[in-house]
Amino acid sequence: MPMLGLGTWENDDHEACVQSVETALEMGYRHIDTAQIYGNEEAVGEGIETADVPREDIFLATKVWISNLSYDEVLATTEESLEKLGTDYVDLLYVHWPAREYAPAETLSAFDELYDDGVIRRVGVSNFEPHHVDEAREHLDAPVFANQVECHPFLQQDELREYADEESLELVAYSPLARSDVIGAEPLTEIADRHGASEPQVALAWLREKGVTAIPKATSEAHIRDNWESLTLELSDDEIATIDDIARRDRKVDPDFGPDAWE
């Protein structure tokens, strides 16, 4: 799984979404992330088809929404997602939240069936705390490949990062730029100025140093490129430690159906 991907949350203008996916892939991105609830799977699929990049070179992920997590709905809506995406498999399918229709035994048996059939190449979970992942593993035959959570310099997710390291689990960061709050925020600005970089690049480089895959949302070519160029930014040990010491804790995504005890 490439450590930098294109996030598509709220990228719900069809043509803009098509263009952003095509632009990202032509630029070099190989990881595209979407979800049923985003309402843009068709546009993502069209962007993939339009880009001059073979499907097998693209790591494509989507997520099953909380109202579709019964056994039958997982199977039915995943088939619908594949049709919209214009592909016969996805590289990673997530349970979007451990909420509403999520029942580990029933939900995950459907994921196992999709995995065994080759319709999904990997099983993922999203917004899971460690005990949710442990429970999921009890019901899955397929390995849990990744946990996608909000993670950025202002919500560093120390416990989840440590758990992921211990359990050989990929941690994927959504909202890695804290909904643009990294812009103009110290000490990120000072570090960015030192490197002739942007604050988003610093945040993404910090996540990469922590072994976390980031999927920043971007629609314009300028922002897609700015994020891409974070791959060339190397932070010093002191700069990483400075970001580690940020005391601010600011969760941007906290719906009423989220886990009861966030970190």
Order the strands of the 123-126 sheet from edge to edge. Answer: 6-7, 31-33, 59-64, 92-95, 123-126, 144-150, 170-174, 213-214
Measured N-to-C along each axis, helices 130-139 and 104-116 cross at an angle, to the nearest 10 degrees, of: 60
> Over the chain, what is the mean pLDDT?
96
- What is the set of active-site residues? 38
Cβ neighbours of residue 65 closer than 8 Å, sequence gap 6 or more: 35, 36, 37, 77, 96
In single-letter form, the type of residue at position 160 comes to L
Below-70 pLDDT ranges, the chain:
260-263
- 61, β-bridge pairs: 33, 92
Calpha distance 203→150 (Å, rounded)? 13
Helix residue ranges per DSSP H, the chain: 14-27, 41-50, 71-85, 104-116, 130-139, 158-166, 188-195, 199-209, 221-228, 237-244
In single-letter form, the type of residue at position 118 comes to G
Of 182, 190, 186, nearest to 227 by C-alpha is 182
Neighbours of 210 (CB within 10 A): 20
Question: What is residue 263's predicted lDDT score, i.e. its pLDDT?
Answer: 45
Question: What is residue 259's predicted lDDT score, i.e. its pLDDT?
Answer: 83
Calpha distance 205→218 (Å, rounded)? 16
Neighbours of 137 (CB within 10 A): 17
- Residue with the two structure tokens 């490439």: 2
Cβ burial of 239 (10 Å; 0-12, 13-18, 19+) is buried
Question: What is residue 262's predicted lDDT score, i.e. its pLDDT?
Answer: 47
Question: Within 13 A of 117's CA, how many CA atoms are on the CB side?
Answer: 13
Question: What is residue 258's predicted lDDT score, i.e. its pLDDT?
Answer: 86
Contact in structure between 61 and 35 (CB atoms under 8 Å): no
